Amino acid sequence: MKLICTWRCCYKLYSVQLGVLLVLLGVAQLELLPMWQAQLSDRAYATLNSVLALLLTVVRLIKQGPPDQGASS
C-alpha cells in the first residue's frame, strides 16, 4: 500500500477528522449511552451514525490542498 505524499499531515484532512469523530461516537455509545438512553433513542443514534458515515463519503471526495501544478488547460 502506498501512502499519500503528505501522510504526516493527515490530521488536517476532513475525512480523517470525521472518521475520528465516528470513532469517538462509537466509544461514547459503549461508555455513555446507557446513561443517555432515556434522552437518546437507538434509532436517533443509528441515524446520526448513518448521516456521519454518508458525510464521510462526501468529504472524502473534496479536493484539499494546493491545486495541481502539472495540469494545463
DSSP state of 39: T
Residue 2 in any domain: the answer is: no
Contacts of 10 (CB under 8 A, 6+ apart): 4, 16
Q: How far apart are CA 34 and CA 38, in angstroms?
A: 8
Domain that holds residue 29: 7-61
Tens-digit pLDDT profile for residues 9-49: 888 888 888 888 888 887 877 777 677 767 777 788 788 88
Number of domains in the chain: 1
Residue 20 in any domain: the answer is: yes
Residue 57 in any domain: the answer is: yes
Its pTM surpasses 0.75: no
